[in-house]
Structure 1
Amino acid sequence: MKLFFRNTLLAIGTATALSACINIPYKAPVQQGNVIEADRAAAIREGMSKNEVANIVGSPLVNNLFRQDRWDYIYRLVENHKPAVQTRMSIWFTNGVVSKIERDLAPTEAQ
């Protein structure tokens, strides 16, 4: 019985000591930008107005002061010890209607 307690105490002590050696702290996932859903992005068509686009995917989080004719939707996810994942969509407007759409909705590793 004495041997059992000694072995149990030794096992607990060893497990505690080894767990203190682990050097991988937890990092909370960080999401930034507009979440771009593929079905909503696919609903954007050339000829739509800015209001119609905003009703479907929302307004962009960052407005470019120098390019009022372009809306950029960027989403970035950084998870615990993994490469960052980024998606983007850019919409160009001419006279208030969509004239060009660029989509990169497949998750890619950010540079």
Structure 2
Amino acid sequence: MPPSLRFLTIAFLCTLLGACTLVKFPGVHRIEVQQGNIITQEIVDQLKPGMTRRQVQFVLGTPLLEDTYSPNRWDYVNRLRDKKGNITQKSFSVYFDEDSLVSTSGDWVPADWP
């Protein structure tokens, strides 16, 4: 086999193999991938104004983002990719004054929040 034909054959096979990732085969098991903090409305409803940083961390967990330039804000991010490849992202932020919880923002609103 001439070297040029061998090269073209290998290039064609590599291209064909690379194209396999573009095809979604039916019946292939796909899993949901969840990244970040798991935050639900029930968890957010446990927050009360005046809670300490330690109490908030006990309820929500360790924040995904802790900004060095804004130490009074903690950000919690939840990202979910379902079996079809659709991505859903939600975020929740808590704000402190010194060591006391003063406000929240994001996709969830705590119940009984003034």
TM-score, scaled to structure 2: 0.64
Q: Equivalent residue of 1:101, what SS? A: strand
Is 1:31 the counterpart of 2:30? The answer is: no
Q: Equivalent residue for 2:14?
A: none
Residues in 1 aligned to 2:41 and 2:66: alpha-carbon distance in whole angstroms:
22
- Structural RMSD (CA): 1.9
Asked which structure has the greater CA Rg, the reply is 1
Q: Equivalent residue for 2:17?
A: none
Identity %: 26
Query: What stretches of structure 1 of length at least 5 have no aligned partner?
Result: 1-22, 107-111
**Superposition pairs for residues 85-96 of structure 1, below 5 Å?**
85-96=88-99
Letter in 2 for 1:51: R
- What displacement does 1:66 show? 1.3
Q: Equivalent residue for 1:55?
A: 58
Letter in 2 for 1:72: D
**Superposition pairs for residues 29-108 of structure 1, below 5 Å?**
29-105=32-108
Query: How many residues are paired up?
Result: 84
Query: What stretches of structure 2 of length at least 5 have no aligned partner?
Result: 1-22, 110-114
- What displacement does 1:91 show? 0.3
- What displacement does 1:79 show? 1.9
Letter in 1 for 2:51: M
**What whole-Å deviation, never above 9, does each CA across 1:73-93 have from its counterpart, x for those lacking one?**
110001233421122110000
Q: Equivalent residue for 1:13?
A: none
